[in-house]
Amino acid sequence: MSSALLTDHYELTMVQAALAGGTAHRRSVFEVFARHLPGGRRYGVVAGTGRLLDLLADYRFGDAELAYLRENGVVDDRTLDFLASYRFSGDIRGYPEGECYFPGSPIMVVESTFAEAVLLETLILSVLNHDSAVASAASRMAHAAGGRPLIEMGSRRTHEVAAVSAARAAHIAGFSSTSNLMAGRLYGVPTAGTAAHAFTLLHDSEYDAFQAQIDSLGPETTLLVDTYDVAKAVRTAVELAGPRLGAVRIDSGDLAVAAQEVRQMLDALGATTTRIVVTSDLDEYAIAALAAAPVDGYGVGTSVVTGSGVPTAAMVYKLVAREDAEGVLRPVAKKSVGKPSKGGRKEAFRALRDGVATAELITTSPGAPAPAQARPLLRDLVRGGEIVGREPLAAARERHLASTAELPVPARQLSHGDPVIPTVFS
Amino acid sequence: MSSALLTDHYELTMVQAALAGGTAHRRSVFEVFARHLPGGRRYGVVAGTGRLLDLLADYRFGDAELAYLRENGVVDDRTLDFLASYRFSGDIRGYPEGECYFPGSPIMVVESTFAEAVLLETLILSVLNHDSAVASAASRMAHAAGGRPLIEMGSRRTHEVAAVSAARAAHIAGFSSTSNLMAGRLYGVPTAGTAAHAFTLLHDSEYDAFQAQIDSLGPETTLLVDTYDVAKAVRTAVELAGPRLGAVRIDSGDLAVAAQEVRQMLDALGATTTRIVVTSDLDEYAIAALAAAPVDGYGVGTSVVTGSGVPTAAMVYKLVAREDAEGVLRPVAKKSVGKPSKGGRKEAFRALRDGVATAELITTSPGAPAPAQARPLLRDLVRGGEIVGREPLAAARERHLASTAELPVPARQLSHGDPVIPTVFS
């Protein structure tokens, strides 16, 4: 299905009025940025760019879309003709996926005619706001987990299609795997999972359930041990699977206490290599609180797919420059109370000292060389309408590791606070 | 695309182990319910059922899905064969869309074999948790707005596909229209929108921008008046459009004060029928605070699509009864600490006194007649695998009005509190 109608009505009426008024083809520069990092976060994480490039390739007004617009009188015939032949022919630059961002970072810069660029506002913001919110939360969880693996398992707590994108975003930001099979199929994210309480309840006894699971999935499986009595279940599990039992999962109760008790039991039973996986409304704070517990992996659901209290990344899409009547590109900015924007096309650099980030440098001198000890942040994503910014998901994962490793140590603090580096406009 | 892989990995491994162990075809009853109403809400609103029925019709494991599962070793060949011929052949009953629900309400009851029913867990929860979270927030906003129209315009603040479902859910719960064109095309939700700040900034002056918009969209359009100076913009708007000007939109500042000032200006300029629409991070509290302001309509974005602080409805899908080895259907329930469930197949009724709801009555006597002065809440949605529960969206909107009208007055309180009626199990 075309992505073209994943768009706000007013993008099309603006195109109509601009076509009629002769301003539709003025060269324009739109910029995606966030005025602040919601939730007192120390840094944000860009995600969604790769998905967006795929959606852009499908951004076409076909017969079905045009018929809907015509029958409902959304726009006039002239605009329908424009939409029928719509192809984005401009340039898009942006922060690549996995990169950290800060307030005012020009996360994406879209340059084309007004009509071509304004149409993309809704789709670009939907993708970046959702995926970056998930990645920003996931990155904090990955830091809190240290080296222990994180499984994303929140599909059931968010929209069924958003779930697939959330799994992808969490993987970029450090999660090892996901429960979501579509994320495995579409993006190659490793998938994981064995059994729920329903499987135990299906059987006439927990013994029967564990036996059936081990028979079919092998002793290396993960057995869920809190359906009735955890201690009894752990004994049954080791009795049936032996010391090769892969893991047990605990999904309720005081997880720190339970993990300690289960570890002692497993060790006493000789299952010293059997891992303990915990789940149950975990977020970055609960994960951090389990740092000293004998936990070998975390399953995270609701909190990661809903951005852990910040379900949207607060990015906006603003016109920052456009041609005037004389054909000169001029910076523009609205003056709305409390919602100012900075006009002008931007370049962005991460300033570093001894490998540690010190500031987000943003300049309105396009083409300016990178300052000393600073790396450029904007990459070409679309050039003259051609998509050039695709990359494997693994590249985004590696970039995220490098980008966060470069941040000052307080970036890892989970408490509410200011961005860990300042944004400096010059 | 098939909806079948919008599913957690473990649903499939459970099917594998149950097929191998001979329990896969045990008759089973799963129930969707919420242990609590998150966010101190007084009532919840069911939404998503209609979408879910469409997704169920597409729940098929085709060649592409099977190839992915085979190549990645997700399940064994026997399970792949089962999936290849998978068709849900059971029964689904549920609360219809727009209906209010309370903690413990059996919102959906799925009865089939274990293997057929367990596979649907992820998809059912994703749809109901997302759409019900949006509808539950939207309903509070509709009450806060009184009779004034609400426009849903949050597409850019949520996943691009979730946005379409959010627009639908908000419409069920009382929103008049949406900015989202796909929601218009797929579900017939009325769409609305005229222009953003970018349109004003595109032009060499606000005067030029307003003139172009009026020329193209007519004087009945809505002009956005806060790009530079609100008072100046209002004067320009009426100068150009005359008293037939449809509306002005204010998107920043103290909206109560601004609306008052703009109303006085419009009236003084003779534009007494020109409406005032306000937008800018509105939620149910901000809407309620504007009750005394001369506002004619609200545009709501972030808060409605993210459930106004409650982005997921906390519904779970639990096995409540299944056949034992003798073929007798027996209630089952896990005993996990803090996450108990109540076994047994349920019926549900809304008890009423003089037309006012007094309790949610839940019984585990299937087929029991409705108690006096109580109406049954469960409807047939799927019978023997055949979808029978489709209905027009207008029916859900009407049901929602009737269901909320029936609730005691404190249901409309926006403060955190207990559910407005108790849930009584018998």
Rg, C-alpha atoms of chain B:
25
Considering CB atoms only, which of A10, A30, A337 is closest to B253?
A337
C-alpha to C-alpha distance for A375 and A390, rounded to whole angstroms: 21
Token pair 């396009």 in the structure block, residue: A366
Kindly provide the ipTM of the predicted complex, given to two decimals: 0.97
- How confident is the model at residue A338, as a pLDDT? 72
| Mean pLDDT to the nearest integer, A313-331 | 95
Answer yes or no: do A195 and B17 touch at CB < 8 A.
yes
Measured from the Cβ of residue B85, the count of other Cβ atoms closer than 10 Å reads 8
Considering CB atoms only, which of A20, A129, A157 is closest to B215?
A20
pLDDT at B342 over 90: no
| Mean pLDDT to the nearest integer, A17-23 | 98
pLDDT digits (tens, 9 = 90+) for A211-258: 999 999 999 999 999 999 999 999 999 999 999 999 999 999 999 999
Chain B residues in contact with A7 by the CB 8 A cut-off are 155, 180-182
| Mean pLDDT to the nearest integer, A154-159 | 98
Q: What angle do CA B49, A128, A391 make, to 5 degrees?
A: 110
- How confident is the model at residue B191, as a pLDDT? 98
C-alpha to C-alpha distance for B55 and B51, rounded to whole angstroms: 6
- How confident is the model at residue B18, as a pLDDT? 98
Answer yes or no: do B155 and A6 touch at CB < 8 A.
yes
Chain A residues in contact with B23 by the CB 8 A cut-off are 202-203, 212
C-alpha to C-alpha distance for A233 and B208, rounded to whole angstroms: 75
The fraction of chain B above a pLDDT of 70, given in percent, is: 99
Answer yes or no: do B126 and A317 touch at CB < 8 A.
no
C-alpha to C-alpha distance for B64 and B71, rounded to whole angstroms: 11
Chain A residues in contact with B8 by the CB 8 A cut-off are 153, 155-156, 179-181, 193
Considering CB atoms only, which of A198, A302, A337 is closest to B252?
A337
pTM above 0.90, yes or no: yes
pLDDT digits (tens, 9 = 90+) for B25-72: 999 999 999 999 999 999 999 999 999 999 999 999 999 999 999 999
Domains of chain A: 9-134+310-425 (3.20.140.10), 146-305 (3.20.20.70)
pLDDT digits (tens, 9 = 90+) for B207-226: 999 999 999 999 999 999 99
DSSP category for residue B5: T
At residue B295, the 3 state secondary structure works out as coil
Confidence category of residue A370, pLDDT binned at 50, 70, 90: confident
Token pair 């004087």 in the structure block, residue: B219
Answer yes or no: do A212 and B18 touch at CB < 8 A.
yes
DSSP category for residue B194: -
Answer yes or no: do B322 and A194 touch at CB < 8 A.
no
C-alpha to C-alpha distance for B337 and B89, rounded to whole angstroms: 34
Contact A4, B160 (CB under 8 A): no
C-alpha to C-alpha distance for A370 and A393, rounded to whole angstroms: 27
| Mean pLDDT to the nearest integer, B289-295 | 98
For residue B263, give the nearest of B228, B209, B208, B225 by alpha carbon: B225
Chain B residues in contact with A180 by the CB 8 A cut-off are 6-9
Answer yes or no: do B203 and A23 touch at CB < 8 A.
yes
On average, the pLDDT of chain A sits at 96
Contact A142, A45 (CB under 8 A): no
| Mean pLDDT to the nearest integer, A62-88 | 98
What is the maximal distance between C-alpha atoms in chain A?
Answer: 83
C-alpha distances out from residue A106 to A71, A320, A348, B9, Å: 38, 11, 7, 38
Measured from the Cβ of residue B192, the count of other Cβ atoms closer than 10 Å reads 22
List phi, psi (to 5°) of A84: -60, -35
Contact A187, A321 (CB under 8 A): no
In angstroms, the first-to-last Cα distance of chain A is 43
| Mean pLDDT to the nearest integer, A117-142 | 98
Contact A374, A362 (CB under 8 A): no
Answer yes or no: do A181 and B5 touch at CB < 8 A.
yes
C-alpha to C-alpha distance for A229 and B150, rounded to whole angstroms: 50
On average, the pLDDT of chain B sits at 96
At residue B372, the 3 state secondary structure works out as coil
Confidence category of residue A340, pLDDT binned at 50, 70, 90: low
Answer yes or no: do A130 and B158 touch at CB < 8 A.
yes
C-alpha to C-alpha distance for A393 and A171, rounded to whole angstroms: 9
Contact B193, A13 (CB under 8 A): yes
Confidence category of residue B372, pLDDT binned at 50, 70, 90: confident
pLDDT digits (tens, 9 = 90+) for B379-404: 999 999 999 999 999 999 999 999 99
- How confident is the model at residue A85, as a pLDDT? 97
Contact A396, A98 (CB under 8 A): yes
At residue A213, the 3 state secondary structure works out as helix
Answer yes or no: do B197 and A9 touch at CB < 8 A.
no
At residue B314, the 3 state secondary structure works out as coil
DSSP A253-280: S-HHHHHHHHHHHHHHTT-TT-EEEE-S
Considering CB atoms only, which of A6, A9, A325 is closest to B163?
A6
- How confident is the model at residue B366, as a pLDDT? 67
How far is B242 from chain A, CA to nearest CA, in Å? 19
DSSP category for residue A204: S
- Work out whether strand A347-353 and strand A356-363 pair parallel, antiparallel, or are unpaired: antiparallel
How far is B168 from chain A, CA to nearest CA, in Å? 13
Helix A77-84, helix A9-21: angle, nearest 10: 110
- How confident is the model at residue B340, as a pLDDT? 65
How far is B334 from chain A, CA to nearest CA, in Å? 5
Give the best residue of A164, A187, A201, A257 to mutate against chain B (max B CB count within 10 A).
A201
Answer yes or no: do A9 and B74 touch at CB < 8 A.
no
Give the best residue of A156, A200, A248 to mutate against chain B (max B CB count within 10 A).
A156
- How confident is the model at residue A201, as a pLDDT? 97
For residue A110, give the nearest of A42, A211, A27, A207 by alpha carbon: A27
Contact A199, B17 (CB under 8 A): yes
C-alpha to C-alpha distance for B360 and B102, rounded to whole angstroms: 7
Contact B276, B267 (CB under 8 A): no
pLDDT digits (tens, 9 = 90+) for B75-97: 999 999 999 999 999 999 999 99
Alpha carbon B384 to chain centroid distance?
A: 27
Confidence category of residue B193, pLDDT binned at 50, 70, 90: very high
- How confident is the model at residue A379, as a pLDDT? 97
HSE toward the beta carbon, residue B293, CA cutoff 13 A:
25
